[in-house]
Amino acid sequence: MPQRIIEVSPSRPLRLPGWNGDDVFFVRQGLIAKYNFGSVARRQILAVRFAGEAIIPRPGVCDYGIQAVIKSDIIVIPRAGWDEAAETEPELAALLLRTLQRHEAIAHQWLLNCGAKDAASRIAHLICEIAARSPAADSHGFENPFTQQQFGELPGKPV
Mean pLDDT is lowest, of 21-25, 53-57, 83-87, 108-112, for: 108-112
Largest CA-CA distance found in the chain, in angstroms, rounded: 46
pLDDT band at 3 (very low <50, low <70, confident <90, very high): confident
All structural domains of the chain = 4-153 (2.60.120.10)
Sign, CA torsion 14/148/110/132? positive
- Tell me the per-residue pLDDT of 35-66, one tens digit each, with 9 for 90 and over: 988 766 678 888 889 998 999 898 899 999 99
Per-position b or e across 12-33, b if 16+ CB within 10 A of its CB: eebbeeebebebbbbbebbbbb
